[in-house]
Structure 1
C-alpha cells in the first residue's frame, strides 16, 4: 500500500496570508494546481481518496478523483485545527504564531 498526503491547492486567503475559514474555495490558481496534480496522478493506480470536508480540500480531492477514477470519501476528522476568532485575520496582525504548539486561539482549539 502506498499513502500520498496532499495539501489542497491555493486559496485567496493563502495568497493573502490570512487564516482562512472552512468554506474558503480554491482560487483560480488553486484550481489549476489541482487540475495539474490530477493529471499527474491520473494513472497512479489510486483506489481511494479521503479528504476533509473543507471546501478547498474537497475541490482538490474531487479533481483527483475525477481524473483517476478513485473513490472519494469525505471525512470531517481530517479538518485542520480550529483557529476560532482568529479566522479571517492576517498572520501579520496576530500577536502570536498561529501555528505554535502552545498557542491557544480565542474560541479555537489547542493541539492537546
Structure 2
C-alpha cells in the first residue's frame, strides 16, 4: 500500500479527525456485527455509548469540524448525528467507512477477533472464512480521504467509523506494513484521533 501514497512534502488540503463510534449494543452483547444486513438498521449505540457522548461533546478539545462523514451503520450514524447536532452541522453517509466484514464470524462472539488478527499478522491479503482482507479495508478507507483531498480544501473533516477500519487506515497512512495494524493503540469507543500532518496524504 505504501506506494499509493504521496510524499509527505506535498502536504494536506484538509485537517482530519478520526472518531470511533460510541459504545454500541453489539459491544454490550459481545457480538460481531459487521454486515449491512445487521448493521444498517440495528445494533446502534448502547446507553453507555450515549453517556460517553454526553460527556465528550461539552468537553470537545479538538478543532471544531466543518464536515462530518460517517459509516452508514446505525452505531456510527447515531454517533455522527450526536456530534452534528452539537455543532449545528449536517452529516454525509459514506459506505466505504463501514465496518470490516468478518465473514462467517458475523453475529458470533467477539472473542473470535484475535483469531482473525493473528492471521492478519501473517498475511494482509488473506480472506480466510470470508473475512474482508486488510488490504481491501485500507483501499476503501484511504480512498475516502483521497477523494476528500481532491474535492475539499481547508476543512476540518470528522470521519466516524469503526475500530478495525480506523486502525488499518492509520497504519496505511503511516506507510507501515498493513499486517501490523494491530500494533496501533486500540481506539476506544467514542475516542477522537487527530490525523497527524506528519503522515503522507493518499
Instruction: Please classify the TM superposition score into its range, dividing by the shorter chain length.
Output: 0.7 to 0.9
d(CA) in 1 for partners of 2:17 and 2:114? 31
Structure 1 stretches of 4+ moved >3 Å: 41-44, 102-105
d(CA) in 2 for partners of 1:90 and 1:43? 34
d(CA) in 1 for partners of 2:101 and 2:128? 8
Stretch moving more, 60-69 or 83-92: 83-92
Aligned-CA RMSD value: 2.6
d(CA) in 2 for partners of 1:87 and 1:76? 18
The Cα of 1:33 is off from its aligned counterpart by 1.2
The Cα of 1:64 is off from its aligned counterpart by 0.3
The Cα of 1:38 is off from its aligned counterpart by 2.6
In structure 2, which of residues 13, 21, 30 is the aligned counterpart of residue 8 of structure 1?
21
Matches within 5 A, 1:70-109: 70-92=89-111, 94=112, 97-100=115-118, 101=120, 102=123, 104-109=127-132
Q: Cα distance 1:97–1:42, how it changes in 2: closer, same or farther (>3 A)?
A: same
Q: Cα distance 1:95–1:64, how it changes in 2: closer, same or farther (>3 A)?
A: closer
Aligned residues: 111
Q: Cα distance 1:42–1:97, how it changes in 2: closer, same or farther (>3 A)?
A: same
What does the per-residue CA deviation read over 1:14-73, in whole Å, with 9 as the maximum and x for residues that have no partner?
A: 134321242321101111112322333399432101100011001011000000113311
Q: Which has the higher contact order (CA 8 A, sep 6+)?
A: 2
Instruction: Note if contact 1:50-1:74 (Cα within 8 Å) is conserved in structure 2.
Output: yes
d(CA) in 1 for partners of 2:82 and 2:113? 37
Aligned to 1:111: 134
Aligned to 1:60: 79
The structure that is helix-richer by fraction is: 2
Q: TM-score, normalised by structure 2?
A: 0.48
